[in-house]
């Protein structure tokens, strides 16, 4: 099934979840590798690749939000406490806010440094340089992008811990809904 149901996520939502998740983790690791190791001659090359992947993830996230808006959200698992439902909603909203915040700060950051950057999507599609080379906001955006990235990864870790808790402790089928698209609930129609 491509679309979501009341009991499970559809194939398109699951694909958005896993592809963006892998890309976000990869971007974070690549960003750390780029910035925490000694400076090298090819830094601008790696920044351009990081920016291209980031802009691609931003486009993917916009499509994901649109898809989520036109599809039902599966109901919480049976027996879920009100605090769990509230925590889940706040956590997911936080993930979206931090992902978009990190990506937008990165886009603004790209090309705002002292040296000009070949700012095009994978060297093919020119991208608007939002602030221009030598922007006075460069340092602020650099710190914001980094702090938002760390906050996002911390929330991703909590998200993963919650998923493992649902799988190992609650055994309520929440993981199945995002992996196979099936529900363990025998009364579910998915």
Model confidence pLDDT, tens digit, residues 29-85:
999 998 887 777 888 888 889 999 999 999 999 999 999 999 999 999 888 999 999
CATH superfamily of 11-179: Transmembrane di-heme cytochromes, Chain C (1.20.950.20)
CA distance 90 to 92: 6
Q: Which two three-digit tokens encode residue 18?
A: 């896993």
CA distance 178 to 163: 10
Q: Which two three-digit tokens encode residue 32?
A: 């750390």
Model confidence pLDDT, tens digit, residues 108-145:
998 888 876 767 788 888 888 888 889 999 999 999 99
Radius of gyration of the chain (CA): 19
- Residue 70: CB partners within 8 Å, gap ≥ 6? none
- Global pTM reads 0.90
Annotated domain spans of the chain? 11-179
Q: What percent of the chain clears pLDDT 90, i.e. is strictly above it? A: 67
């Amino acid at each position: 099934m491509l679309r979501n149901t009341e009991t499970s996520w559809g194939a398109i939502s699951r694909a958005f979840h896993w592809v963006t998740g892998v890309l976000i983790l990869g971007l974070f690791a690549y960003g750390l590798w780029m910035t925490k190791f000694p400076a090298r001659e090819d830094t601008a090359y790696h920044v351009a690749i990081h920016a291209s992947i980031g802009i691609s993830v931003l486009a993917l996230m916009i499509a994901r939000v649109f898809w989520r808006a036109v599809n039902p959200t599966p109901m919480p698992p049976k027996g879920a406490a009100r605090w769990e439902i509230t925590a889940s909603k706040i956590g997911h909203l936080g993930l979206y806010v931090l992902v978009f915040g990190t990506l937008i700060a990165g886009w603004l950051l790209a090309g705002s440094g002292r040296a000009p950057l070949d700012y095009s999507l994978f060297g093919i599609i020119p991208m608007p340089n939002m602030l221009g080379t030598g922007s006075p906001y460069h340092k602020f955006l650099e710190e914001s992008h980094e702090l938002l990235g760390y906050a996002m990864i911390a929330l991703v870790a909590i998200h993963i811990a919650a998923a493992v808790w649902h799988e190992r402790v609650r055994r309520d089928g929440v993981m199945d809904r995002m992996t196979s698209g099936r529900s363990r609930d025998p009364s579910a129609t998915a």
